[in-house]
Chain A
Amino acid sequence: MRDSLAAFVRKEFLHIFRDRRTMMILLLMPIVLIILFGYAITTEIKRVPVAILDQSRDEVTQKMISHFVASEYFELYKMIDSEEEGQALFRQGKIRMALIVESGKLKGENEIQLLVDATDPNEATQLSAYATQIAVESGKVKVESENANSNAKPLSPFTFHLSPDQGIAPVIKLLYNPQLRGAYNFVPGVMGLILILICAMMTSVGIVKEKEIGTMEVLLVSPMKPVYIILAKATPYLLLSLVNIATILSLSYFLLDVPINGSLLLLVGVSVLYALVALCLGLLISTIADTQQAAMLISAVVLMLPVILLSGMVFPIENMPEILQVISNIVPAKWYIIAVKDIMIKGLGFGSVLQEIGVLALMVVVLVGLSVKRFKIRL
């Protein structure tokens, strides 16, 4: 029986290698995704055009402005002479933030007004936070910030009263990712996505394809045990996903400078466990779907969407309504991404990801049971 299993696995590899287009997609997809997320789809703030109105023109404000210009977050678009000019630039979409330094207050304590284009609320929050930080660092300042909309009148201002001379000044230290690099978040996310895609989608499509072309009928009327059929189908995709893990990790390590702080072995181990969950999901889908298209659709809707939306890859789980937070617990990618972040970024050991490993292992057991039970020995 071992011979037939080996022959079966060999046959599966032949299918994959003969289908050049699919193989190229499988091997290139992680590279494209990493490059897309790494360079194109980024939520990081970089070189945002800013207009500055300096009515004070003293030493302190000059120093602060030079701080702003020097930071990689902001880029000076223009020094302006009036607030109206700033509003016009907002409307034209030339700037996303305006900094207004008012004159004639106490020496050394200027009041700054921040106007931020809040059409993208997340970005606006980040921008005002960065600006405040720079302003605070560059001197004794009191910051007043205001949200603006590019085509509307300024909204009701919200004011930061930051006076380092009085009260408590927080000292912020960012752990694990001091530069707030987006790559630290999406590399684990992309790994979660790719493994689900390749293992679940390809396995389900692979099995359903045999049903569709009628070879499953012949295989069933053979002494080949169903469990061998399943094993043989899953093995090549498991190996292929290992290749993808290697691709993603080396790309993120060498190209995006994402560190691998924890044990590489543990990281690969967790990835294999997650790939197993995905394989089992693929098997389960193959027992439900009758055509390749159906298998593809189910994989996309049932697997990919939750991975993108509910795993915490794009949207933080803590901000979701409670019901979605509960549902997110059955999304394997959530646990995988947490574990990968712990190992890769935080450099934690086996003991810290015990819960995640446990959940994933439980999922494998349940899913294997379900799909072996559902896998029909007849048509």
Chain B
Amino acid sequence: MKDIVVQKVNKAYGKVQALQDISLHIGEGELFGLIGPDGAGKTSLFRILTTLLLADSGTASVCGLDVVRDYKEIRWRVGYMPGRFSLYQDLTVEENLNFFATVFNTTVEENYDLIRDIYVQIEPFKKRKAGKLSGGMKQKLALSCALIHRPDVLFLDEPTTGVDPVSRVEFWDMLDRLKRQGITILVSTPYMDEASRCDRIALMRGGRCLSVDTPEGIRGTFDKHLYAVRSASMYKLLLDLRTYPDADSCFSFGDAHHFSIRKDVVEKEGEAAFRRNLQAFLTAKGHTDIGIEPIKPGIEDCFMAL
């Protein structure tokens, strides 16, 4: 039983409702992602599950243990990596790791096989102070520290925030390997592109759980046509697209705008005709260098549509 069960959990800070009626079931050995922007309630949920915070109502259990009643037992069995970089900056890599090992009554040698893949990458710098490591290396060290006691369940709160893209990919590769060792992993991230690396995800916003499914399942629920539209004047394009008759939504995504429209609108006039009409509409508005291409929805598109 290395699962996580959350049932109708509510949590408020004064008047701010941080979590509303959250219910989740995360199975043993699952890599589960909480996806949502800042303030979605991800950290609050983490703290409730790691026994740091008490929910106002509802129950939760980790490894079959109640987070309120059996908090002591849970603290032996989970690994937790908080959102902030929480290592001792003035201690070296080695000292940090040894310290956390002894706190959990174990030694680095005992569980070295579990962290070897991760630790070998930072081992050349083991005499360096943690505060002097790069963002990516800090995360690897923090993960090593959270893993050093071979936890059954691993909680990672925004582990890739502030880490460069290459290190982020490496980090997710490491999580894949850990998953294969049978560790249940709950990870949160504000980056939608990382969602596809999870087995299942929960989209959260404003303390609510909007939808829970596999990344493919969530993408499958997107029932509109989606186009990436570009032109020479991007900001004007955004405003103009929103005035297009029957337009569903239009959001800026990096170098293009994601423009969605109901399927029946497009099918009525035919796909090719719709694109010609849109092109004509934008040309009439004075746009040049117009590019329109159909795209598959990403998690972020689904999130925006919810």
Contact = CB atoms under 8 A, between A and B. Distances in A.
Contacts of A218: 80-82, 86, 100, 145-146
A377 interface: yes
A213 B95 contact: no
B172 interface: no
Contacts of A18: 90-91
Nearest to B146: A218
Contacts of B71: 377-378
Given A217-B82, A223-B76, A224-B103, A19 B52 contact: no
Contacts of A152: none
Contacts of A377: 71
A11 B95 contact: yes
A213 B130 CA distance: 13
A223 B105 contact: yes
Contacts of B283: none
A378 B52 contact: yes
B242 interface: no
B72 A223 contact: yes
B53 A11 contact: no
Contact of B102 (A7, A213, A215, A220): A7
A377 B67 CA distance: 13
Interface in B10-59: 47, 50-54
Interface string B92-107: 0001001110111100
A223 B72 CA distance: 7
B80 A217 contact: yes
Contact of B103 (A7, A217, A378, A379): A7
Query: Mostly helix, strand, loop or mixed at chain A's interface?
Result: helix
Interface in B75-91: 75-76, 78, 80-91
Interface in B164-211: none
Given A221-B78, A223-B72, A378 B51 contact: yes
Contacts of A14: 90-91, 95
A265 B102 CA distance: 36
A77 interface: no
Nearest to B99: A11
Contacts of B146: 218
Of residues A3, A213, A214, A221, which shows the largest number of chain B Cβ atoms within 10 Å of its Cβ?
A221
Contact of A215 (B51, B54, B86, B95): B86
A222 B83 CA distance: 17
A4 B53 CA distance: 25
A214 B91 contact: no
A213 B146 CA distance: 16
Contacts of B75: 220-223
Contacts of B80: 217-218, 221
Contacts of A378: 51-54, 71
A40 interface: no
Q: Interface size for chain A: under 10, 10 to 19, 20 to 34, or 35 or more residues?
A: 20 to 34
Contacts of B91: 11, 14-15, 18
Nearest to B76: A223
B88 A215 contact: yes
Nearest to A379: B52
A342 B104 CA distance: 48
Contacts of A223: 72, 75-76, 103-105
A79 interface: no
B241 to A, nearest CB: 43
A325 B86 CA distance: 46
A3 B50 CA distance: 24
Given A221-B75, A222-B75, A4 B84 contact: no
Contacts of A1: 105
Contacts of A4: 102-105
Given A7-B99, A221-B75, A214 B104 contact: no
A219 interface: yes
B120 to A, nearest CB: 23
Contacts of B104: 4, 222-223
Nearest to A219: B103
A8 interface: yes
A7 B51 CA distance: 24
Given A378-B51, A379-B52, A214 B84 contact: yes
A377 B95 CA distance: 25
A245 B51 CA distance: 42
A217 B52 contact: yes
Nearest to A228: B103
Interface in A270-316: none
A235 to B, nearest CB: 15
Contacts of B88: 11, 15, 213, 215
Contacts of B53: 378-379
A8 B103 contact: yes
A1 B76 CA distance: 13
Nearest to B84: A214
A213 B54 CA distance: 22
Nearest to B73: A223
23 contacts: A1-B105, A7-B98, A7-B102, A8-B102, A11-B95, A18-B90, A19-B90, A213-B85, A213-B88, A214-B85, A217-B80, A217-B86, A218-B80, A218-B82, A218-B100, A218-B145, A220-B52, A220-B75, A223-B72, A223-B75, A223-B76, A224-B103, A378-B71
Given A214-B82, A218-B146, A378-B51, 6 more contacts: A4-B102, A7-B103, A213-B84, A213-B85, A378-B71, A379-B52
> Which 4 residue pairs of A and B lie closest in terms of their CB atoms, listed nearest first?
A214-B86, A7-B102, A214-B84, A221-B80
Interface of B: 47, 50-54, 71-72, 75-76, 78, 80-91, 95, 98-100, 102-105, 145-146
